Structure 1
């Protein structure tokens, strides 16, 4: 009746390693393709607690590669972390799952990273990754970088005080500039990055740091290419994130962006300077008198004024769909929400 028997038969894990896994807490930032794949793998492996964070909701274009979601989730615009938690709980009810609908800004990440054993990167932008990098070094927890676009993927494991951090690599290693918006993506590339990330995650969770891959790995499945880069000598003494005199630059207010164009979609996110809970019921009544189409569920409100659509979350964040122009998105935001 032991659901983890096959995992325990794998000698590098064994019964002792399985016990360790069941005591660990993992934080995943982003519940898109990489996040949903990593979350399912960790839940099936029996991790003790999983905290999942995402700012978005399920759309039809997600279903091609984001394995936790179904058509009903897209029809009802269910927030990704809610749909993910429902599915993950059905897979393994013994895992404690904390679902957070929100944006991974500095304040939140510093808070979420407390009492966490590992962070996994499943974001769609480098700003969030650099904040994660600073937070990991400041708090002293490992994190696993991962990204994919088209048929290409990349992954690297960062251990504070031991390996170069992501800031150390930026000037030397080509981490890629394409996005799923410009190049699309195929699901096998997602699955390969997830395999690399979760393999490293299991090593960390059982304490087998000697088995960690010390190299940055990248591949292109369509071109049948695979490479690893030895990066241990790229650690910089003067790195502002992990060097001797650390300033954690990406935690500073001046380096934080309040707007962001979302990957793969004509959408802009607007985050108010101060977080305040919105009354979606009252807002629905207000917008109903403005023309357009209003739809609401317990988590968000959608307001369509052709050709644009605003999606307002309880925490005050707004997604403006139908444009990549930040100025246009802000104008619409202020016009209807003040």
Structure 2
């Protein structure tokens, strides 16, 4: 069957559409489904393992626009599973949002792409989500997922959760007014204190989590995410895959999706100092940290500094500091919030 016989695109659209011909031939997408995909704007929070794979899948599927947020930069340990990045990105410590932009535009130069290097707090997430059709979770921590959940319900947007560690994966789609929310499921979610940085991960677990996630996103975007709705979990190493239905798990008193929502994650003040998940790293947000103040501090102390277009990196008191140009600093080689604040006060006080 020729593509011209199954689509309803204009002649001017045909050349563009040919790259999606196999997706259009798939009976559950078709030409109408492809049109919906090509009109969609997707907000992805995180450009690490999950966001790296999901963003490329969706770009290749034909979405109109990707909005991408990430606060970190590429390191050598990322390359085993974060498919958008190369050794050059790790060597140059390229911000993940910037490296992702390079690669995604190589895949599809016509893509509308809006990238943000920074911490995704409530105000930023809410402002970006207002221009999106769906949110994809590419994070690695519980607090940010609760924030995504509250923003999604407040704005009436669907979002798709995904997680992976070691060889395990999980994923689930949440739709306001249709499914329970993520907060309702928290008591039954797989619980673990393991992270990729402490327990490791294999790339197939990432691919499984994202395959489930992007499939759910395509169902939602094409209007085919119907009951029953499932949380899918598995262990790719042990070849164990299962699912459980979430449709009856709604908590009537839930502060996000219940009768009197208060969106508690949005009500909490944005953390100025926080430990990063599974890493000996503390992030500090402080308006004193500017490019000028960093240059002044390191010059005064005679500290050798590695400057990039996005941040300055140097060592101070046996800690590695990465100072971005927007009031944010990552303090590596420590997990102590008090010590992190002390170092910042010593440098910029």
Quickly name the TM-score band, shorter chain normalised: over 0.9
Matched, 1:216 2:231: yes
SS, match of residue 188 in structure 2: coil
2:53 is matched with which residue? 37
How many residue pairs align between the two structures? Answer: 333
SS, match of residue 232 in structure 1: coil
Are 1:32 and 1:66, in contact at CA under 8 Å, matched by a contact in 2? yes
Q: CA separation in 2, counterparts of 1:84 and 1:181?
A: 21
Match of 1:311 among 297, 319, 322: 322
1:300 is matched with which residue? 311
Q: CA separation in 2, counterparts of 1:248 and 1:138?
A: 7
Matched, 1:227 2:238: no
1:163 is matched with which residue? 179
2:271 is matched with which residue? 257
Match of 1:320 among 316, 319, 331: 331
Q: CA deviation at 1:267?
A: 0.9
Q: CA deviation at 1:84?
A: 0.4
Q: CA separation in 1, counterparts of 2:35 and 2:144?
A: 32
Matched, 1:116 2:132: yes
Matched, 1:239 2:239: no
Q: CA separation in 2, counterparts of 1:102 and 1:129?
A: 16
Q: CA separation in 1, counterparts of 2:164 and 2:82?
A: 13
Change in Cα spacing, 1:116 to 1:182, as seen in structure 2 (3 Å) is same
Task: Provide, for residues 26-55 of structure 1, a one-character-per-residue CA deviation record: whole Å limited to 9, x for no partner.
Answer: 000000000000000011111000000000
Matched, 1:333 2:344: yes
1:290 is matched with which residue? 301
Residues 56-205 of structure 1: matches in 2 within 5 Å? 56-205=72-221
2:280 is matched with which residue? 266
Q: TM-score, normalized by length of structure 2?
A: 0.91
Q: CA deviation at 1:146?
A: 0.7
Q: CA deviation at 1:102?
A: 1.0
Q: CA separation in 2, counterparts of 1:277 and 1:258?
A: 12
5+ unaligned residues in a row in structure 2: which ranges? 1-14
Question: Rg larger in 1 or in 2?
Answer: 2
Q: CA deviation at 1:284?
A: 2.2
5+ unaligned residues in a row in structure 1: which ranges? none
1:4 is matched with which residue? 20
